[in-house]
Structure 1
Amino acid sequence: MIEYFDVTVVVPTKNRVAMLARALMSINEQTVIPKQVIVVDDNSDIPLDKTFFDTFQNLQLDYIYNVKSLGGAATRNLGLNKANTNFVSFLDDDDSWSPYYLENVKLVANSIGNKPAGFYSSKKFVLSNSLQRVLKKRDAIGQVALDDLVCGNVIGGTSSVTLNRLALEKVSGFDEHLPALQDYEFWLSLALAGVSFYPCVNSYMIYTINVNNNQISSNFNNHIRASNIIREKLFDRVPKGTSPKLDAALDYSVVKAVHRRSYIKSLPMTFRMLLKHRRVKGVLLLIPYKAMNFFGKYST
């Protein structure tokens, strides 16, 4: 007998049919099945045929095709607005979940009770050209609130997060004006509204590092613009004395994005960041990205 979880999984996708199939199969093979899966296609070159979804027989699937590209934030918001369950999870088309992912999220969610809450999972990291080899693991280790998030995106990307309806009612969705860092800004906005994030230690999201480095989030100019927008939007809202921490976290995000694309361009930015914020973690960015990769130290 199939056990269900009152959750909608929102899956944004674009031009990655094979990876999307992997993501959906990981949902289809969950020990606890979501009530709804919404695939939002952000204007792929060729819309998916309905027969593509026949393989995923355990899932109640809805497919939305954007007639023009709207971007990641708006695409996720479309899924959020159509979801009619008490919980919403996110899964990017190039990521996947371990079979017990939703079962463990459900257990933690039931233990929290009726209050606004988010839930974040542990993570395993793989390369897009070697999906079976786990490079490293990062466990969800504690409750996360605003004091933690102003120091950096300790939660991670959307594929590791589930939110209950009470939390979603606190904010208006992802900021569609941000060219990057939409997930981090969303977690900050939720935390500012009083939402805490609870760890699902035994749930594993498998995060795919794209070796071609062509993800939208890898465009460092987008990170620069996004970090400045977040400063203007949130600096006056965070508790007094914490804006320098958020400033340091945003600078680190920008330098890390530049570091992935151009080590030479990142060097002066790294030195300025180290002098300005004295962040020990930033010292790692003095090592070329390819050298970090050689030793398995992917800057994820």
Structure 2
Amino acid sequence: MREKVSIYIPTKNRISLLKRAIESVHRQTYKNIELIVVDDGSNDGTRKYLLEAQKNNRLKAILQPESFGACVARNTAINNSTGHFITGLDDDDYFLSKDRITTFVEQWHLLTKGESKIAGLYDSAKINTPQGIIDSHTDETSSYKKLRQKNNIGNQVFAPKSHYIKSGNFDPSMPAWQDWDLWLRMSNMFGEFININHFSYMVDETHEFNRITQKSEDKIRIALMRIHSKMGNVSLREKSSLLAAALAYPQVQPRLSDLVILIITGRLYTAIKATKKIITPSI
């Protein structure tokens, strides 16, 4: 029998989107799947829906007594999972391909033959934006060195449960970039991440609910500070890359010190773009 794969979905008050996400899991051709949905204090009917779905053996529902945040929800699912492999799905996203999990399992066994050491797998994604659908996270691999400059993986990986646990799971103290932070720790401990280049995941940015892009500037700045601290000795180029990632959010206004670092490291386009945010701030 093929190894069991546990899929976690954290959710809160997005029942219509959650149903779409769950259906995309049930359409998978790989059948040895454990679906765990952790509700983070919903009051929109999600809990009733999950309990009914659990009765019909469609998923395992975990209902948190109150809202502790998505990080805690993900960790709760991981710690209660029974699969050999784990991957995730955000409740407002969905799997595009029916063979996403099958491909992950097959590629894992193909790539780990012999003495090959990898942290996990990921996949290029489609992002549905108000301006149209774009391709994202298309790099062939992601190493610890690359991850020290940007998250070129995205928000989901496929890896053995032990890789999540030994790396410390998601850090609830991170107000943003929790996935990036964990991928850094996993790659530092276990090696590279490999892209299966299947475009089997859709990130949906067209709905009315909040995503990280709408988090406050303070939260993005705190995440930037904490990821600096966790990385240890950060080079000027790495610092510039992390700043560029933070400034990519419309709500993050550049500081003079940010612009100096960008210019010194040759990121003139990023510096000019950031300066325009000061001249013509978003309303």
| TM norm structure 2 | 0.83
Residue 193 of structure 1 is aligned with which of 189, 214, 220?
Answer: 189
Amino acid at match of 2:177: L
In structure 2, the partner of 1:261 is: 251
2: distance between equivalents of 1:246 and 1:213?
32
In structure 1, the partner of 2:202 is: 206
1: distance between equivalents of 2:275 and 2:20?
33
2: distance between equivalents of 1:226 and 1:78?
22
1:235 Cα offset (Å): 1.6
2: distance between equivalents of 1:269 and 1:101?
43
1:4 Cα offset (Å): 6.2
Deviations 1:172-210 (A, max 9, x none): 101111111111111111122133211111242101114
C-alpha change, 1:124 and 1:186, in structure 2 (3 Å) is same
Partners of 2:54 and 2:61 within 8 A in 1: no
In structure 1, the partner of 2:125 is: 123
1:65 Cα offset (Å): 1.3
Residue 159 of structure 2 is aligned with which of 163, 185, 196?
Answer: 163
* 1:48 aligned onto 2:47: yes
In structure 1, the partner of 2:75 is: 77
SS of corresponding position for 2:142: coil
**Alignment coverage as a number of residue pairs:** 271
Residue 38 of structure 1 is aligned with which of 16, 36, 40?
Answer: 36
1: distance between equivalents of 2:190 and 2:2?
29
Deviations 1:73-130 (A, max 9, x none): 1111001101111110010000111222112111211112375521100111113xx7
2: distance between equivalents of 1:273 and 1:85?
45
1:139 Cα offset (Å): 5.7
1: distance between equivalents of 2:212 and 2:28?
29
Amino acid at match of 2:191: V
In structure 1, the partner of 2:178 is: 182
Quote the RMSD (CA, aligned, Å).
3.0
1: distance between equivalents of 2:31 and 2:273?
41
Amino acid at match of 1:108: Q
1: distance between equivalents of 2:257 and 2:89?
32
SS of corresponding position for 1:193: helix
SS of corresponding position for 1:201: coil
In structure 2, the partner of 1:137 is: 135
SS of corresponding position for 2:38: strand
1:221 Cα offset (Å): 1.3
In the TM superposition, what are the counterparts of 1:1-300 in structure 2 within 5 Å?
Answer: 6-46=4-44, 47-50=46-49, 54=53, 60-98=58-96, 99-113=98-112, 115=117, 117-127=119-129, 135-138=133-136, 140-158=138-156, 161-210=157-206, 212=208, 214-219=210-215, 220-236=217-233, 243-257=235-249, 260-261=250-251, 265-266=253-254, 271-279=259-267, 282=270, 285-286=273-274
Which range moves more in the overlay, 28-37 or 8-17?
Answer: 28-37
1:247 Cα offset (Å): 1.6
SS of corresponding position for 1:88: strand
Partners of 2:38 and 2:74 within 8 A in 1: yes
Which range moves more in the overlay, 87-96 or 71-80?
Answer: 71-80
| TM norm structure 1 | 0.79
C-alpha change, 1:148 and 1:280, in structure 2 (3 Å) is farther
1:6 Cα offset (Å): 1.8
1:162 Cα offset (Å): 1.1
Deviations 1:38-85 (A, max 9, x none): 00111112442147754997x751111111111121111001101111
Partners of 2:54 and 2:60 within 8 A in 1: no
Which range moves more in the overlay, 84-93 or 4-13?
Answer: 4-13
2: distance between equivalents of 1:287 and 1:222?
21
In structure 1, the partner of 2:281 is: none
SS of corresponding position for 1:261: coil
1:229 Cα offset (Å): 1.3
What are structure 2's unaligned runs of at least 5 residues?
Answer: 278-283
Amino acid at match of 1:282: T
What are structure 1's unaligned runs of at least 5 residues?
Answer: 237-241, 290-300
